Amino acid sequence: MVTAAEPLPRATAHRPRAVAVRHLGPNWYATVMGTAVLATAGHRLSPAPLALWAAVWSLALALLAVLLTARALHWVHHRDQARAHLLDPATAPFYGCLAMALLAVGGGALTVGRDWTHSGAVVVLGAVLFAAGTAVGLAAAVAVPYLMAVHHRVRLSQASPVWLLPLVAPMVSAAVGPLLVPWMPAGQARQTLLLGCVALFGLSLLATLLMLPLVFARLLTGGPLPLALTPALFLVLGPLGQSTTAAGQFADAAPGVLPAPYAEGLRALAVLYGVPVTGFALLWCCLAAAHVLRAHRHGMRFAMTWWAFTFPVGTCVTGAESLARHTGLAAFGWLAVGLYVALAAAWTAAAVPTVRGLVSGELLAAPRPAPAAPLPATARTR
């Protein structure tokens, strides 16, 4: 383990390359999620510039491959740090990001990739990533709350939107799975996959409804979150936008798969569920934005939590686009476009300093130890 007395490890020419990944946490998968949703949401709004969406999705696929390799090196060469991440209540929930990164790229393969290449291999890739992401997501949804209850000893004052991450992953599976329904054999296989996605929808939704009051209560009674953690408030949009998207996907996949009453029921669910949830998502978006503006005025600097501005907003884009199709209302279409503009700006704001931090090595360096005691009021700094 690195102690305060040890020098900060950095990747240099005379050190093993694995040293560079010692402090590479699971939160880095958020870069894959944000990049993938930039492609899939844009493709759903306007498939016309297909080469652009394909290029962005290919970037997300490449990022996923690089991070899977880097994280494998992390587990092989730095198991002590990997175990420390699992036992850290601030880091363990980010294991949900691994599942969502796999699912986000898999969903892109089944939409952007399929339209771009017209290849069955891309569909196979999407199916493999969906299966792997669902398995990892279900494991995280069980394991992380278990660790929090048994090993982490967390307090209500520590409640954070980050706690939602392992619980949202099954909802991403619920939204991606219906894209595979047409590729399954007709009959039982299609029905099982679709209703299995509905079950994942319920699993994630009910778990989120249990966790969200803790986050809101912490915000009201404990005051604003720390500056670096403030962007994480946007994570609450994830289950809201993704569940609206999933409900729309159920409605699209159900005709011809489920008996007529259930197919019609899912079509009604897409609107009757999606509209009020989108209303709450807009309320939370305004609240989170107000907190971020406050944090900016108080000196908030770039941190990897800025990637929370991307994927959750992207799910609201796809949710609004789904409502536009199922209601025929132009207002939802314009809402989707406006949110996508915000998504593109947020992705740029997060990606540019991330690349800069990687080039400088700052983002992969060990966290700097906090001072043992606050500096005296008369202390001078240079």
Nearest of 168, 161, 173 to residue 246 by alpha carbon = 173
How far apart CA 332 and CA 203 sit, in angstroms, is: 27
Question: Could you tell me which residues come within 8 angstroms of residue 190 by beta carbon, excluding any fewer than 6 positions away?
Answer: 181, 182, 184, 257
Longest dimension (CA), the chain: 76
How far apart CA 86 and CA 151 sit, in angstroms, is: 10
Residue 255 pairs in a beta bridge with 258
Give per-residue pLDDT as tens, 287-336.
Answer: 999 999 999 999 999 999 999 999 999 999 999 999 999 999 999 999 99
Q: Are 67 and 29 in contact (CB under 8 A)?
A: yes
How far apart CA 103 and CA 70 sit, in angstroms, is: 19
The torsion angle over the Cα atoms of residues 45, 46, 51 and 54, rounded to 10 degrees, is 20
> DSSP characters for 241-256?
HHHHHHHHHHHHH-BT
Nearest of 187, 208, 160, 53 to residue 116 by alpha carbon = 53
Give me the amino acid identity at 324.
Answer: A
How far apart CA 295 and CA 300 sit, in angstroms, is: 5
Q: Are 195 and 218 in contact (CB under 8 A)?
A: no
CA dist 223 → 161, 218, 380 (Å) = 14, 7, 30
Q: Are 322 and 45 in contact (CB under 8 A)?
A: no
CA dist 280 → 145, 221, 283, 316 (Å) = 25, 21, 5, 11
CA dist 228 → 231, 295, 352 (Å) = 7, 8, 17
How far apart CA 167 and CA 342 sit, in angstroms, is: 25
Nearest of 110, 159, 160 to residue 133 by alpha carbon = 110
- Residue 112, token pair as written in the block: 């952007």
What does R_g of the chain's alpha carbons equal in angstroms? Answer: 21
Q: State the burial class of residue 238 (Cβ atoms within 10 Å of its Cβ: 0-12, 13-18, 19+).
A: buried
The tally of CA atoms less than 13 A away on the side-chain side of residue 243 is: 28
List per-residue pLDDT tens for the chain, 382 residues long: 333 333 434 434 334 456 778 878 899 999 999 999 999 999 999 988 999 999 999 999 999 999 999 999 888 888 888 888 888 888 899 999 999 999 999 999 999 999 999 889 999 999 999 999 999 999 999 999 999 888 888 888 888 999 999 999 999 999 999 999 999 999 999 999 999 999 999 999 999 999 999 999 999 998 899 999 999 999 999 999 999 999 999 999 999 999 999 999 999 999 999 999 999 999 999 999 999 999 999 999 999 999 999 999 999 999 999 999 999 999 999 999 999 999 999 999 999 999 999 998 888 877 665 443 333 333 333 3
Supply the DSSP symbol for 258.
B
